[in-house]
Amino acid sequence: MVVGDFPIDLETVVIGAGPGGYVAAIHAAELGQKVTVIEREHIGGACLNVGCIPSKALIEAAHRYQRTLNSQKMGLEVKKAKIDWDQTLSWKADVVNRLTSGVAGLFKKHKIDVIFGDAFLKDENSLRVIDKDDQAQTYNYENLIIATGSRPIEIPNFKFKGRVVDSTGALSLPKIPKELIVVGGGYIGSELASAYANLGSHVTILEGGERILGNYEKDLVKVVEQHFESQDVDIFTHAMAQSVEQDDDQVKITAMINGEEKTLVADYCIVSVGRTPNTRGMGLEQAGVKVDERHLIPVDAQGRTNIPNIYAIGDVVAGAALAHKASYEGKVAAEAISGMPTINDYHAMPAVCYTDTSIATTGLTMKEAQEQGLVVEKAQFPFAANGRAITLDATNGFTRLVYVKESGILVGAQIVGPHASDLISELTLAIETGATVEDVALTIHPHPSISEAIVDAADVGLGFPTNI
């Protein structure tokens, strides 16, 4: 920082150091660009600090606790199993620190400068950064990548304070609640509900739609709902939270559930009804950058906005708000700035919901494929017939392949069950490379393994269902 507000000339600037921004910055540096990152709070963004990583750490701790309590059928009995919540939170913080420190180290390795503060665009070639001490500095730039991510939506009458928390606050509750209300049954709300149910909370989900996890197919969600039932999780659909009262000990929620007013009491309330892009209040209009009615930034196949030297990636552009999508787009934008003939041309974007019985999808569903005019078939194999799943005592769910009837080319896949988040990558690669059901069936998988369910599903598609 220099004394006074004299413009400083920069080459490539990335606003935001989350999984889109830091990947874009590192790849741009790898390609020979001189890169500067502007970050409001923490290296790693929401994903590494208060989202993807800490939530999965909490989910894993909860899952292990539950397995400790329920291994009697295997002849294992642990007496007086308990949770040291402070230690769990400390371990979660260590996981976050390890990853964020790693990103900071990569920035140093690639000679990437970091400026902490809020960035405000002045025009298409300059911006101003205001730091935590309200000191301002103007910077000129050649190219800009906007990777500012998103934030939780705050609904009327439910301010994030006290015992009403967003997904960030949910990861650091001072104690495990006996009673927990989750407003919103999307993937974030469902993941948190599953984690706290495993930790011993009685969880109630209030979902405004006809079912939880509305972005996933019904038969996938049914498996998750069945597991929730086994955890004694109460799910109310067509439920709209109206108001909340709280004191030092509890929250009282008034909600309309199927047209009837009900009052629910809990220790804490998590509000998780979606996220909104961080595009407002940063001066996009001053730079002439167009924004649509959803506050998203329209971009071309290289991530370029209507202003040729300004790019946007991740949650601020159309498409699923996924960390790996942002990282992919970050690489493409960095390559575009370097003049490479690159575009966002993926055929399959994997998505995962890390509930205790997890869901993973990639490519097209049957319905989506048919809407595109494709004549498709599906092939499905249950984990109940998979040897490794049986040894893991995790037999709920199935693997499904969606493929073109005439050619057998894979166009989509859905998995609900053990290790779904890991299995889906193989099927994403198969779709990206134009593999057929026969290609998958002829690929030898180790035995016994969860991944054999993929081969078995392919065998079903070929008409030779060996294992069922």
List, by residue number, the catalytic residues. Answer: 447
The reply to whether omega before 448 is within 30° of 0 (cis) is yes
**Rounded to an integer, what is the distance from CA 455 to the centroid of its chain?**
27
**Whose CA is closest to 333, among 24, 11, 17?**
24
Q: Nearest 10 degrees: CA dihedral of 201, 204, 210, 212? A: -20
Q: Is 188 annotated as a binding residue?
A: yes
Q: Is 149 annotated as a binding residue?
A: yes
Q: Is 150 annotated as a binding residue?
A: yes
Q: Is 184 annotated as a binding residue?
A: yes
Q: Is 329 annotated as a binding residue?
A: no
Q: Is 185 annotated as a binding residue?
A: yes
Q: Is 274 annotated as a binding residue?
A: yes
Q: Is 268 annotated as a binding residue?
A: no
Q: What is the residue type of 197?
A: A
Q: Is 187 annotated as a binding residue?
A: yes
Name the binding residues. 56, 148-150, 184-191, 207, 274, 315
Where is the binding site for NAD(+), in residues?
Answer: 184-191, 207, 274
Instruction: Could you list the residues known to form a binding site for FAD, using ranges.
Output: 56, 148-150, 315
